[in-house]
Amino acid sequence: MTSAAAPPTSLHRPAVSATHGARASVAASSNRVHLGNLEHLFRSRGAIESSGTAAAPVQPARRRQQAPLLRLPSFFKRAKGDFAVAKEEQVDLSPRLFQPVPPDGPSPRGDIAASWRRLHGEDGWRGLLDPLHPDLRREIVRYGEFVDAAYGAFLSQPDATPGDLAAPVHVPLQDAAYRVTAPLFATSSVGFPSWLALAAPCAAQRTSLVGYVAVCDSPDEVRRMGRRDIVIALRGTCTVLEWAENFRAGLVPATEAVDAAASAVSASDAKVECGFRNLYKTAGDGSPSLSEMVVTEVRRLLKKYEGEEVSITVTGHSLGAALAVLIADELAGHGDAPKQVTVFSFGGPRVGNRAFAERVEARGARVLRVVNAHDVVPHLPPRPGGRWYADIGRELRLDSRASPYLRPDADAACCHDLEAYIHLVDGFLSSHCPFRANAKRSILRLLKNQGGNVKQLYISKAMDMRARLDAGG
């Protein structure tokens, strides 16, 4: 799990004068400021010597990492694809990569009013994944940032509880076109023994902030997207009790079928992972279950925007990706849901058996799983001989070795990291092409979260660049 704290104000792009000479002066000053902040970032983690010259940095501390749900046995072999592998000479040192927002702004968002249904899986993303369509890339990155905001909300308010009016939940949304309408909480079905709960009350909290519901509230953005979008974003595992649920990998019956489209799949045949279903269906002390919260809020919003074109997009990372599939299955199964219910998941584990996967598809929910070939979590729970568990929907397969910035031996935490996932999506062209040369996403957050997995050559070159800019005045 990833995402950096909000950048200091000094990192924002300054206003530029109208004359060419002033623009050049401001640009040089801006670069020095940005690289100075980068130097401070490395220095705070022991990466730069006091002399200011390039040095072999100590691995920076990692933040907000999501470890694998389970440890696989040594005989497990990671899935491999036919990907272009990055080479050292492909390292890009463009100043835009050191800024929270590139000098020429974020990737432009084109009008997708006529194509949004295809981008959200109406025809199974046929012809859009490899090579990756630019509009789909922007959509996936944008929904990854919604998940990042769910992590930010929890980490800044880990003790938040439902109905706490004294401390309303704050979600650090990056997209100003959306407005948060409701926080979401998940409750574990297990708890600590009473004596242990008294010793560690924070760790024993059964109900935790897991995500939120947001709606596009900008008329201009609604026109650009061709519909009003309702987003449900969910973080990955963060609490001890959530970890306990993750390990409950037995299959249990899924919820009863409620629509004719899914009637061909018997409810007793469709099964899901026990721990995931517990977190989705368990009510807290005086608070509804995650399932009830989502259904109630989505119904309220659908009624509010009745008569408009509306989409429901569910997105999550790791555990949140599993919960996203359960949510999409339930929402698509209700007769009053809009036709388009889409899941964009990052590093998600398997959720249920083949009968459950068939039920999700029969109900019309579209699932796009973004998977790093070297991430072990999407291969969990294991399915010996192809039995018990099944993958759902379509897969966008990435490879962390294709990034010119990440070490080819990046560890398991990096391969599962949300920011690393967003970084890989931003640079992906196709499985046979190198990393996108004009990728715009800043690597500051990648350096903060996964500094020890960034190539040492890249860090050294970045410090050389800083020294040259300083010397040039």
345 Cβ contact list (under 8 Å, min separation 6): 315, 316, 317, 320, 321, 324, 325, 367, 368, 369, 370
Q: Is 229 a catalytic residue?
A: no
Q: Is 263 a catalytic residue?
A: no
Tokens encoding 131: 């090579």
Write the single-letter amino acid at 143. Answer: Y
Could you check whether the bond before residue 434 is cis, i.e. omega within 30 degrees of 0? no
Reported as type and span, the H/E element at residue 138 is: helix 134-156
Active-site option among 318, 400, 403, 442: 318
> Is 251 in contact with 274 (CB distance < 8 Å)?
yes
Q: Would you tell me the crossing angle of helices 319-333 and 290-304 to the nearest 10 degrees?
A: 50
The residue whose two tokens read 């960034």 is 454
How many angstroms separate the Cα of 403 from the Cα of each of 112, 120, 166, 463? Answer: 28, 26, 45, 20
Question: What does the alpha-carbon distance between residue 336 and residue 232 come to, in Å, rounded to a whole number?
Answer: 17
Reported as type and span, the H/E element at residue 366 is: strand 366-372
φ, ψ of residue 146 in degrees (nearest 5): -65, -40
Q: Which of 237, 216, 254 is nearest to 332 (CA)?
A: 254
Question: What does the alpha-carbon distance between residue 399 and residue 79 come to, in Å, rounded to a whole number?
Answer: 10
Active-site option among 30, 416, 423, 426: 416
3-state SS assignment for residue 224: helix
> Is 214 in contact with 181 (CB distance < 8 Å)?
yes
Active-site option among 375, 399, 417, 426: 375
Question: What does the alpha-carbon distance between residue 170 and residue 167 come to, in Å, rounded to a whole number?
Answer: 9
Q: Is 431 a catalytic residue?
A: no
Question: What does the alpha-carbon distance between residue 431 and residue 234 come to, in Å, rounded to a whole number?
Answer: 28
Q: Are strands 178-187 and 207-216 parallel, antiparallel or unpaired?
A: antiparallel
φ, ψ of residue 147 in degrees (nearest 5): -65, -40
Active site amino acids: 318, 375, 416
